[in-house]
Structure formats: structure tokens, C-alpha cells
A = this chain, B = another copy of it.
Amino acid sequence: MKITRTVLTLFFITLLLSASAQTWIWFPGDYENWLGNQMNNRRTERGVTIPVQWKLDGHEPLMIFTKTVDLEEPEEIEVYAEGEFIITIGWRIKYQGIKNEPLKVVVPAGKNEIKIKVLNYAKVPALFVKGKTINSDDTWITSPLDSRYATKNMKHPYSPSGYFMNAGTGNLNDPNSLPSEFKLPTKPMKYVEAKQMEGGTLFDFGIETFGFVKFHQLSGTGKLTLQYGETAEEALDAEHCETFDIVDIPAGKSDYTMPRSNALRYIFVAAENAEYDDVSLLYEYAPVEYRASFKCNDEEVNKIWEVGRYTLQLTTREVFIDGIKRDRWAWSGDAYQSYLMNYYMFFDLETTKRTMYTLRGSEPVMVHLNNILDYSFYWFMGIYDYYQYTGDVAFLKQIYPKMESLMDFVLDRRNDRGLVEGLEGDWVYIDWFDDQVDITGEVSFEQIVFCKSLETMTLCSEILGIGSEAQKYDALAKDVRSKLSDFWNEEKQAFIFNRKDGVNSDQVTKHANMFAIFYDYVSTEQKEEIKKSVILNPNIPAISTPYMRFYELEAMCSLNEQEYVLSEIKDYWGGMLKLGATTFWEKYNPEHKGLEHYTMYGRPFGKSLCHAWGASPIYLLGKYFVGVKPTKPGYQEFEIRPVLGGLEWFESSIPTPNGDIKVYADKNKIKVKASEGEGSLIFTSKKQPKTDVGTIEQIGENEFLLKINGDGQEVSVEYRAL
């Protein structure tokens, strides 16, 4: 009876979904890339707009949307499009639509191909069709080519799916809101303090934030100068504040909202022949859901988790950007970390997909992502992670041709040993280095992420059932993998930094070494050696960006060093909090003093004080303390490995595609509750643990496993933490 009701309910939900499933559709990637770059190109620096510094790819201006239907009776459809459009039904039944005006046409009974061409250079051709049974969704086929001219022998880079793709969608379901008009929502926000100063007023919003400044009842004949600051010092420094605006007062007296949103905690407003009643902010934000939660006995850690969440919230915009003051761009290496943090926080898939499409752009590939060699590699790994966390094979299928063509670009540029090097014009970034490093030749770090990317290609082509591709990439990956040992220095027990003309350098940095650990590219013994000889070795240069601290601490977590990691988190991220940070920074050096903390790139306020890569504790805590991760795509199967790592207790909820996994742990008790999938709770215990549901299995010395059924039932275990 219960089952029947569930089935019936599901049946009705399905009906409802299919009746209301129409959504805006487009050529996958084109709209996402366009939208992401609208955001990217809004960056300003000292009053000047700075478009992206890499190649900006356009979209296909003429898109053909097709759907074959077989109707029992004629059906009227309403067609909306972003662009001029022409509807052909079957052979020679043609209708013309005008840009942005819907058109109603009747599709005759019988089997017919509906073909709608949409033309738009300025914005991305998009389509919305509403009918009784005919609705625009991802079952429509999109192509810049007419299917009559579809050629089978189209070679790479458009294989395997050719250029005929299932339509892209993005939860834009209102026919009267054009996709190009997509805007993040805003809400009003008040400053907490206003100070009259010489020449103007300094407003403090109390916290790092982002939005449109609004002047209430603005009047006068002069102008306003706005100096934005992440610190009061920056807002007050006319010569050096990174962003400012000058407003010519419009005639009359009325509210005036700045046309562009900005990062700020402070604004200094200087009025020249201008008056206003008040200032406020329209806080602009991504409407993400706070799906994860985390609480523990340590208030500093709780605060770090919350500030991490807010940092990720602010840097989540149309796409995941690096920082909200600067650069306000999607960068592949930065975004890769946002994706991972997002799986342990918002589980927002649209922003993730949009960012990946924005970073990759269109065909042909002419430069590395963001011009950076390593940033191409993170992009591959990001896609596999996405699949692993979401199980969304449709997206993988859509983006696979773009993976292939990027990998072709990479493979075309290998040296004669089959390894990658930064060629002229390539930026070999890895991290900001405080000391000089030689990034030419074969850099060990780049080979490691190259190898991982090839393994990713193997996995993805296997998932899509393209055996020949999988074989090809597997062979390539094995070849690169076999050459990693060339970089190993037995004496130093470390991977050296680079190799030129067959000669290894003496230099060692942490980067290649820590990736080799959590990619499992070295033996257990080597890992322990690297930990001592590199990670914990004070003679190896310390990492000073949260960006690479992310991976350094991930490597340590993978070595079960959660206690070390927790103390580092408290020290490093806690250190920023102690300096008054309300969001985490682009770079933090505990040695710095006073205003020195805000300098970067030779500019007094060059540093971004709200930088996505600063938020890594939310990922580390979710994945390595709460211990939740999928082991089969989309959390069909998952692991929970709770580790207190020095905490007394924690309580957390981690999102899964259609539910969540709740975990409580203290030294004597673990409680878990999962609402989908099949889980394995794995934990260590000094004593034989007990449970109320299921059977605990011993799988190692002090190590136990309990199967968890994703039925929403709470499972409690009594144990004794090691």
C-alpha cells in the first residue's frame, strides 16, 4: 500500500513535470559562455573597464533547433525566441517571427519535423516553445548546421556527437524573461556607520559585500566621486583605491543607483555641488541554497566555516569568479576549487556548468584556458568531479567534444619526450612564488596534472562508451605516468621542480610533491617520506596562498593528518580572522604587519580580500572531517569517514543531488542519516563498536565498516575514538 502510493505520487509528479517542463534552450555552452563573459567584462580598475586578457570566444549567430513530433491531432504551439526566427514545419510550411515577439502556429497532425532557425549576433540565439505536448527542453537538437548537411565523416574535434547536440538548458523557465536579461537578485542593505571626513563621508557596511550603491534623493549640478574600499584605508586613498566611480548628477531630484555593482566594505563619497538624503546598497547575490551545515565544539572553527561560506557566496556570481574586487574573472584554477567547495556547501550545478563552459569557450582552441598551461588541466578534472558528485551523464556527453579538442590542443604541443612544457606565450603559473623559480623546461607539477588529465579523459570516454578513445588516452596516461619517476630525487626524497635538456634541477617546492600524494602516484612509503622531507620540512619554501594551501592540507588529510590540518586551519585562517577579515583573502603572510597585508602586485591595495580560493576549509572539513564523498556517480554509493581530528564533536549535513547526508560524531558516538544512495560508514574505534541498525564489519586493525541505506533512517553507532 505504501509502495503503491509512492509509485502513484511519482507518476503524478512525472506528469506534472512533463506538462511544465518547457524551458529556454540554446546551443550548449554558447549561452553559458556569453553570460559568463558579460560578467567577466564588467571588471573595472581605477575607472577603466578591463575585458578578459585571454581570447574571448563568440557564439554561433545562427542556430537551428529541431524536434520531430508525431501528433494525433493538430497542436498549437507558442514560440518565443531571442532573435529573429523562422519556423519550418515539415516541407515548406514556413512562418516568420520577429525578435522578442512570440508567434503562435499550428503543427499539423502526423509525423513532422519542426525546425526553428534563430538568428542573433549580439546575444545567443535561444528558443522557448510552449504547447500541449510540444515543449522546448533538452530533447530538442541544436546545431549551427542544417541536418540535411550533417556529415558523418566530420572529423575531430566534433566527434563523437558531431555538431548536433541536445539543447542546453539552465532553469530559465519564464518565456517572458529573455536569457540575455538574466540578472542576479538584489536586496537592500544599510551601512552600519557613517563618518564625516575632510572632503566627504566614509560609509562602513560592517562587512565585505557587493552591490549597487544607491543615493537617495540625489540632486545638484555637480558630481559625486565614490571610492570603494575593502578597508577604510583603501576607500580613503584617492590615488590608490582599486576601484572608483565618478557620477555626473542627473537633472532633477530622485533616487540614483549606480549602473555597475562593486565590491566594498567602505565607500568614501565626495560630493561636489551635489546633495543626497542617504546612501544604501542593493546587495547583489547568487540565490544559492545553504544546503550544508557544520557545527563543532570549537567556535573559531565554526567561524572559519561560516566566513568560508560567505566568501564562497560572494564569489559565486553568474559564474564562479576569483575575487569580487579584482579580478572578477572566471579563472580555471580558482574555479576548480570553487566547484569542490560548492559540492560541500550549495551543490549549485548551474553555476558550475556555466563556469566550465565559460572557461572553455568555443572551437577552435587557440590558447590554454586563461592562457595558463596548468589551468587547462584543472578544467578536465573539474568535469570528472562534476560527474562523480552529480551523476549527470547528459552534461558529460555534451561537453565531451570540447574536452577532446582541448586535449588535442595539449597533445599537439608536447615536446619530443611526450611531455608538456610552457611554450612561448604560455603562462606556467602553478602558484605565486615568493622566491624565484625557473618555470621553463619540463616542470614536474605540470606533468602530474597532465597525467591526471589524461586519466580523466580515459575515465570520461569509458563512461560514454567510446572504447577506442579510452584506449588511446589510457596509453598516453601510462606513458606520462612512467616518466614521472624521472623527476624523483632519491637523496632529497622529493620530486624536483623541473628538468631541462635531460638535467634535473636541485630545486624542490611542495607543489608536485603534494599532488603526487593525493593522486596516489607514489607508494605509501614514499608518501610518508615526502611528508617528512617536503611537506613538514622547514627548509622547503612555505606556501603563502590559500590557493595551494588547499592542496597542501588535502595531501595531509589524505595521510590521516587531520589534527595537523585542524591546527593549520586555526592558525592560518584564524590568523586572518584575528586581523578583522570578514571574508578570506587572496594571499596571507602571517609575517606581514599592518597595511602590508593589503599590498599585492606592487599596489598598496592590490590584494583581493574576498577570494574564492580562501574558502577551502569548507571543503576540507566536509570531505576529510565529516568525511563524506561519493564513490559512485551522483552519490549512488558514498563513503562517510568521520574523523574528529582534534575536535570534541561535530554535527554536519552534506548535500547530495536529491537529499543530504547528516553526520554527528563525538568520541563515543557517531550518528548518520542519508536520504539517498548506498553508503559505507567507515571509522576507527578502540573498542568493538555497536549499532542499532545493521551489522558492523571489521575491515582492518581498529577499522570498521557499516552499510548505510539512504532511506532517511538515523543510524547510531557507539564506539571509542582512537
Which single member of B34, B41, B157, B423 contacts A153 (CB below 8 Å)? B423
Q: Indicate if the CB atoms of B56 and A144 lie closer than 8 Å.
A: yes
B163, A86: Cβ atoms closer than 8 Å: no
Write the nearest CB–CB distance from A400 to chain B, whole angstroms: 17
Question: Is B153 touching A424 in the complex (CB atoms < 8 A)?
Answer: yes
Q: Given A49-B84, A150-B424, are A119 and B58 also a contact pair (CB < 8 Å)?
A: no
20 additional A-B pairs beyond A48-B96, A151-B426, A155-B413, beta carbons within 8 Å, are A41-B119, A46-B94, A47-B96, A50-B86, A51-B117, A52-B62, A54-B146, A54-B149, A56-B62, A56-B119, A121-B123, A145-B366, A145-B367, A148-B425, A151-B367, A152-B425, A153-B413, A157-B364, A363-B363, A363-B364
Q: Can you list 24 A-B pairs, Cβ within 8 angstroms, ordered by A?
A: A45-B94, A47-B96, A48-B94, A48-B95, A49-B84, A50-B86, A51-B62, A51-B119, A54-B146, A54-B149, A56-B62, A56-B119, A58-B58, A121-B121, A149-B425, A151-B367, A151-B423, A151-B424, A152-B425, A153-B423, A155-B412, A155-B413, A163-B366, A363-B363
Q: Which of A24-53 contact B (CB under 8 A)?
A: 34, 41, 45-53
Decide: B53 and A61 in contact? CB cutoff 8 A: no
Q: Does A427 contact B (CB under 8 A)?
A: yes
Q: Per-residue 0/1 for A346-375: is the Cβ within 8 Å of any B Cβ (1 yes, 0 no)?
A: 000000000000000001101100010000
0 or 1 for each of A545-558: is its CB under 8 Å from B? (1 = yes): 00000000000000
The docked-state distance in angstroms from the alpha carbon of A426 to that of B150 is: 8
- Please tell me if the beta carbons of A122 and B122 are within 8 angstroms of each other in the complex: yes
Bound-state Cα–Cα, A450 to B146, Å: 25
Contact of A150 with B62 in the complex, beta carbons under 8 Å? no
Say whether A60 faces chain B, with CB atoms less than 8 Å apart.
yes
Give the most central of A84, A123, A364: most B CB within 10 Å: A364
Q: Which residue of B lies closest to A362 (CB)?
A: B58
- A96 with B49, Cβ < 8 A, contacts A121-B58, A366-B163 known: yes
- Of the candidates B86, B121, B158, B424, the one whose C-beta lies within 8 Å of that of A122 is B121
Q: Which 5 A-B pairs have the closest CB atoms?
A: A151-B425, A122-B122, A56-B62, A152-B424, A48-B96
Question: What B residues does A148 contact at CB under 8 A?
Answer: 425
Of B61, B96, B427, which one neighbours A56 at CB under 8 angstroms? B61
* B49 lies within 8 A of A366 (CB): no
Residues of A within 8 A of B (CB-CB), count: 56
Contact with B along A142-179 (1 / 0, CB 8 A): 00111011111111011000010000000000000000
A690 within 8 A of B: no
Q: Do the beta carbons of A86 and B425 come within 8 Å of each other? A: no
Most buried by B among A121, A145, A146, A154: A121
- When all copies of this chain in the complex are counted, the total is 2
CB distance from A24 to the nearest CB of B (A): 18
Q: Is the CB of B152 within 8 A of A86?
A: no
| Residue A500 at the chain B interface, CB threshold 8 Å | no
* B residues near A94, Cβ cutoff 8 Å: 45-46, 48
The reply to whether B59 and A58 form a contact with Cβ atoms under 8 Å apart is yes
Bound CA span A117–B149, Å? 37
Nearest chain B CB to A118 CB, angstrom units: 9
Q: Which residue of B lies closest to A371 (CB)?
A: B149
A55 located at the interface, meaning its Cβ lies under 8 Å from any Cβ of chain B in the complex: yes
On whether the beta carbons of A49 and B149 are closer than 8 Å, the reply is no
B55 and A145: CB pair below 8 A?
yes
CB distance from A220 to the nearest CB of B (A): 23
Which residues from chain B contact A157 at a C-beta distance below 8 Å?
Answer: 364
With A and B bound together, what is the CA distance between A58 and B59 in angstroms?
7
**Contact residues in B for A58 (Cβ distance below 8 Å):** 58-61, 121
- Chain B: CB-nearest residue to A146: B53
B150:A425 contact, CB within 8 angstroms: yes
Give chain B nearest CB distance to A114 CB in angstroms: 15
Per the bound structure, the CA–CA distance linking A61 and B426 in Å amounts to 22
- CA gap between A50 and B146 in the complex, in Å: 13
Compute how far the CA of A423 lies from the CA of B148 in the bound complex, rounded to whole angstroms: 12
Q: Which residue of B lies closest to A422 (CB)?
A: B151
A154 nearest in chain B by CB position: B366
A121 contact set on B, CB distance < 8 A: 34, 58-59, 121-123
Closest to A62 in B: B56
Q: Which of A62-85 contact B (CB under 8 A)?
A: 62, 84
Interface string of A108-133 (1 = CB under 8 A from B): 00000000010101110000000000
Complex: how many Å from CA A665 to CA B661?
96
- Minimum Cβ distance to chain B for residue A146 (Å): 6
Q: Is the CB of A427 within 8 A of B59?
A: no
Alpha-carbon gap, A234 to B364, bound state (A): 47
A153 CA to B50 CA in the complex, in Å? 28
C-alpha spacing A182/B627, complex, angstroms:
64
CA distance A678 to B34 in the complex (A): 55
- Distance between A271 CB and nearest chain B CB, rounded to angstroms: 23
List of B residues within 8 angstroms of A61 by Cβ: 56-58
